[in-house]
Amino acid sequence: MKATIVGGGVIGGGWVARFLLNGWDVSVFDPDPDAARKIGDVLANARRSLPSLYDRALPPEGALTFHESMADAVSGANWIQESVPERLDLKHAIHKQIQEHAPHDAILGSSTSGFKPSELQDGADRPAQVIVTHPFNPVYLLPLVEVVPSALTPSALTERARDILISIGMKPLIVRKEIDAHIADRLLEAVWREGLWLVSDGIATTEEIDDSIRYGFGLRWAQMGLFETYRVAGGEAGMKHFMAQFGPALKWPWTKLMDVPEFTDELVDLIAGQSDAQSGHMSIRELERLRDDNLVGMMRALKKSGSGAGGTINSHEATLPTPDFVDLPVTVSRQVPQSWTDYNGHMNEAKYQEASSQATDRFMEMIGVDATYVASGGSYFTVESHLRFLEEVKEGSVLKITTQVLSAAGKKMHLFHRMYKDQGETLVATSETLLLHMDLNARKTSLPSRAVADCLAAFVQSHSGMPPPEGAGRYVGQSDRS
């Protein structure tokens, strides 16, 4: 699959990263001589963060090319994403150029934050090909895309756009009625307007306003949004009760907050100055990385419940391939997130155990101990494990773990995981672990099902010819290590 990105700023660069890291070939058209460097900066951020969302490896990156001719850029494209500045005449001109050369069945998505699709389609050669696909910065991490068709957009095209966006890990929100600024930006503008008033009136600085968000309702909105949060606040009496109780109170200040502050040079200077005082000690690059590390950490936390963006990651992860194997099964292939590192500047010891635990989980799936089996009341519990930490592992390393069955009989399963970095070149840890099969209802040991036992026996036989691994059967501090 091939995507063409027209306009390579922060948003265009984010689209490049989103497609490329999900295995698409990407061609770029941007007359800015600095485009390759700018996109390279975004890609560097994306490579350290996007794969860290997942506990499986993303597919191999596609090929990235830059083109001076639009015809070359769009040739053979399945998706063309336009992210040029927010001027209708410019977008019309660029769309015309794109449609002269692009495959007729390609989707032409516009990143516009304000224009309606019908405005973009107006006067186009093939208006039905144009649709709004409005993403959010950083595009490589935030799942939301507002997909806005017009009345003349074929529903088949909208559905195809939705499916493609899902396949690259995004959350398309189909906007059923086109309006200026779609949905999210209307909310953002309301807050922006209110924020400008607060600064303009000297009530609060930019930092105080940010604090009023991030220490409070921002944390609620990241998982539930506005209405579900209020539903919970309303309690058992329900949403209608909440609105009856708070509706009128919320109404009072409405009449006072409706003016628009003048967008004067003084206001711009005031806000820019306050923002410098608040954040000027960090470069934009440092702020971007801080933002991305926080986003990855919070989104990984949401994976646990599947709420919001966590659900999107879980769904996408389920479509990522489980690793192939030749001799020993590869049970883990994944990138190390920044949040897995500690004050020593390397992967924390507990994360070696976590990766080993993921290897055990994957091996259990391979012998039939999957979610269905666990739901039926059977599982394995780890009773003992021994880890050797042989090499440091840094943030961004790609880990691969192989699993060897040392023995298995009755309730017992004895595994040996080898953890590698550098494409399997460097052994970084071994983990030897003994598990017992459990009846989850009685919370007592029990025999596995016949199917599981048979599957496990096949592994035992296949691994029986292998020599016992170096490091197995060791106790802590055994003398061959110094």
- Residues within window 352-381 making contact with its own copies, judged by CB under 8 A: 352-354, 356-357, 371, 374, 379, 381
**Site residues for its own copies, window 1-30 (CB under 8 A)?**
10
Stretch binding its own copies (CB under 8 A), from 26-34, 60-68, 266-274, 420-428: 266-274
Cα–Cα nearest to 126, from 95, 148, 93, 151: 95
Is the Cβ of residue 63 or residue 374 nearer to its own copies in the bound state? 374
Binding segment for its own copies among 25-33, 206-214, 321-329, 458-466 (CB under 8 A)? 206-214
CB of 467 to its own copies, least distance (A): 17
Say how far apart CA 309 and CA 141 lie, in whole Å: 10
Q: Residue for token digits 């930490």? A: 389
Question: How crowded is residue 106: how many other Cβ atoms within 10 Å of its Cβ?
Answer: 19
Assess 229 for contact with its own copies (CB under 8 A). Answer: yes
- Can residue 474 be called a binding residue for its own copies (CB under 8 A)? yes
Q: Which is nearer to its own copies, 78 or 278 (CB)?
A: 278
Residues 301-360, interacting with its own copies (CB under 8 A): 301-302, 304-305, 307-309, 312, 338-339, 343-345, 348-354, 356-357
Q: Using the rule CB under 8 A, is 218 a contact of its own copies?
A: yes
- Check binding of 70 to its own copies (CB under 8 A): no
Minimum CB–partner distance for residue 92 and its own copies (Å): 17
# residues near its own copies by CB under 8 A: 160
CB of 49 to its own copies, least distance (A): 13
The burial of 419, by beta-carbon neighbours within 10 Å (0-12 exposed, 13-18 middle, 19 or more buried), is given as buried
Stretch that binds its own copies, among 21-29, 53-61, 265-273, 449-457 (CB under 8 A): 265-273
Segment interacting with its own copies (CB under 8 A) among 71-79, 321-329, 393-401, 474-482: 474-482
Q: Rounded distance, CA 109 to CA 94, Å?
A: 12
Residue 103 CB, shortest distance to its own copies, in Å, is 30
**101 in contact with its own copies (CB under 8 A):** no
Which residues within the stretch 393-412 sit at the binding site for its own copies (CB under 8 A)? 406-407, 412
Range in contact with its own copies (rule: CB under 8 A) among 95-103, 123-131, 224-232, 418-426: 224-232
DSSP 243-288: HHHHHHHHHGGGGGS-------HHHHHHHHHHHHHHHTTS-HHHHH
DSSP for residue 235: G
Least distance CB 55 / its own copies (angstroms): 12
Q: Is 190 helix (H, G, I), strand (E, B) or coil?
A: helix
Nearer to its own copies, 76 or 247 (CB): 247
Answer for the pair 352, 389: CB distance below 8 angstroms, yes or no.
yes
Q: Residue 44 interacts with its own copies (CB under 8 A)?
A: no
Residue 238 contacts its own copies per CB under 8 A: yes
For its own copies, the binding residues in 111-140 under the rule CB under 8 A are: 113-114, 136-137
The yes or no reply on residue 281 touching its own copies (CB under 8 A) is no
CA distance 369 to 382: 14
* 457-460, long-range: CB < 8 A, 24+ apart: 457/408, 459/367, 459/405, 459/408, 460/405, 460/407, 460/408
Q: What gap in Å lies between CA 338 and CA 50, rounded to an integer? A: 11
| 175 near its own copies, judged by CB under 8 A | yes
What lies within 8 Å, CB to CB, of 313 at 6+ separation is 53, 54, 143, 169, 299, 300, 302, 303
Minimum Å distance from CB 327 to its own copies?
A: 22
Instruction: Please check whether residue 377 is in contact with residue 383, taking contact to mean a CB–CB distance below 8 angstroms.
Output: no
Q: Single out the residue of 157, 193, 322, 424 in contact with its own copies (rule: CB under 8 A).
A: 193
- C-alpha closest to that of 16 among 110, 165, 167, 140: 140
Task: Report the C-alpha gap between 420 and 395 in whole angstroms.
Answer: 14
User: Which CB atom, from 151 or from 249, has the smaller least distance to its own copies?
Assistant: 249
Alpha-carbon distances of 10 from 95, 183, 242, 266, rounded to whole Å: 20, 21, 40, 27
